[in-house]
Amino acid sequence: MKYTLCIGMTPAVQELREFKSFTLGEVNRSPAIHRSVAGKGPNVARVLRQVGGRPLLLGFVGSEFITDNLRREGVAERMIRTKEPTRVCTTLMDHATGTITELVEEAKMPTASEWRQFFATFRRCLPQACYVVIAGALMPGASPEIYRKIARCGVPVIIDSQREPLLGVLEFKPFIVKLNVHELENTLGKVEIIAGARELLKRGAQNVIVTHGAKGAWLVSGTGVWQFRPPRITPVNPIGSGDAVTAGICRALERGENLPEAVRFGMACGAANALTLIAGTVQLPDVRRLLVQVRLRALKNL
Ligand SMILES: Nc1ncnc2c1ncn2[C@@H]1O[C@H](COP(=O)(O)OP(=O)(O)OP(=O)(O)O)[C@@H](O)[C@H]1O
Ligand SMILES: [Mg+2]
């Protein structure tokens, strides 16, 4: 049985600290701290597993916390062990104002030998991969050439990234480019959503999915445009919803569904992720209940 190869270059140990109220410059006491595995690639792999899919996570790891938790969650991995410990990212949740603040530690550059091990493992894993998912940014200082090297693997690629690292892979005709509205504008400048998606098609993408949080998402391909409205929910923590969308799409594609139906399933996963406190976590009953509430509308054909 083939797996979906999820590339997670920059995992993180995520600490979510809850506060009754949080004031900058004051002493703030947190009654609850939750630690989990985060990072775009790991989030995709974790949600894919939660909805019954077959992820294999590839990347770099320098903390047993990450590998222990992936094992506990049943996520298969071939992560390269690094000398540097894995970064720690912190979320501050202020219940008084409903504000979420992110403190992001940048990922460190792996050594030359760690990179060699990564690409050797990547090549070994490819024959059993049905899709390759590239999610998120590279670590600071890494060349966009790395994503290009991955994208020319010959296996259908699903990429969630922006700017140069995204633009650089388009010539290899990635199967799906998925990004949010802000990332679309960061990549192409101020642009209307469907026009921006068409521009990415023109540059090589086979299909483009643009998400816009509670406002929904658009799928633009060579054959048509579809608009998706997510279910109405009261979000608890929407961080990682984009990764959950990617995971849901992969799961539905693994099952052989067509792309609009796959995006519908992805939207249900995105909304389900927003209902949980920990990013990259969905409850399957939520996904099933929300799936029927996703509205799909085919817009004019191209
Ligand atoms: N408040 C919400 N209500 C309903 N659905 C939501 C909400 N927030 C997110 N979603 C779902 O998740 C999808 C992705 O959300 P969004 O566009 O915020 O992704 P993102 O910015 O890439 O997130 P991240 O990068 O943190 O994973 C949306 O298209 C929608 O299906
Ligand atoms: Mg995103």
What pLDDT is recorded for position 195? 97
Nearest residue by C-alpha to atom 16 in ligand 1: 213
What does the chain come to in residues?
302
The region, left, alpha or beta by phi > 0 then psi within -120 to 50, assigned to residue 204 is: left
Asked if residues 139 and 106 have their Cβ atoms less than 8 Å apart, the reply is yes
Amino acid at 2: K
Nearest residue by C-alpha to atom 1 in ligand 1: 214
CATH code: domain 3-19+33-299 is: 3.40.1190.20
pLDDT in tens, 196-208: 999 999 999 999 9
What pLDDT is recorded for position 302? 52
Nearest residue by C-alpha to atom 13 in ligand 1: 270
Nearest residue by C-alpha to atom 8 in ligand 1: 213
Q: List all residues 6 or more positions away from 135 whose beta carbon is below 8 Å from its beta carbon.
A: 6, 7, 8, 40, 41, 43, 44, 159, 160, 161, 243, 246
Residues framing ligand 1 (Cβ under 6 A):
180, 211-214, 216-217, 230, 233, 235, 238-243, 245, 267, 270-271, 274
Q: Look over the chain and give the mean of its residue pLDDT values, rounded to a whole number.
A: 96
Which sign, positive or negative, has the C-alpha torsion 252, 258, 259, 265?
negative
Does residue 1 carry a pLDDT above 90? no
Atom of ligand 1 nearest to the CA of 266: 31
Provide the residue ranges of all domains of the chain, joining segments of one domain with +: 3-19+33-299
pLDDT in tens, 245-271: 999 999 999 999 999 999 999 999 999
Name the residues around ion ligand 2, CB cutoff 5 A: 242
Ligand sitting nearest the alpha carbon of 242: 1
Place 32 in a pLDDT band, splitting at 50, 70 and 90.
confident
Interval 72-98 mean pLDDT = 96
* Side-chain-side CA neighbours of residue 269 (13 Å): 33
Interval 18-45 mean pLDDT = 94
pLDDT in tens, 115-149: 999 999 999 999 999 999 999 889 999 999 999 99
pLDDT in tens, 215-241: 999 999 999 999 999 999 999 989 899
